[in-house]
Amino acid sequence: MEHERISIQDFRDLSSSWQCSPDKIEKVTTEDLKTLLKEYVLSDQAKSAIIKELKKREDDKSYPALNFIAGMFKLFGWLQAIVGIIVVWVFFSKEMELYGILVLAASLFSALLSFAYSELILVVTDISSSAFRILKHLKDSK
Return averaged pLDDT per consecutive 10 residues of the chain, 142 residues in all. 75 87 86 88 88 75 86 97 94 90 95 97 87 77 69
H or E element: which one contains 43?
Answer: none
* Cβ–Cβ under 8 Å, residues 25 and 33: yes
Distance in angstroms (rounded) separating the CA atoms of residues 16 and 45: 8
Give the pLDDT of residue 1.
Answer: 39
H or E element: which one contains 94?
Answer: none
pTM as predicted: 0.55
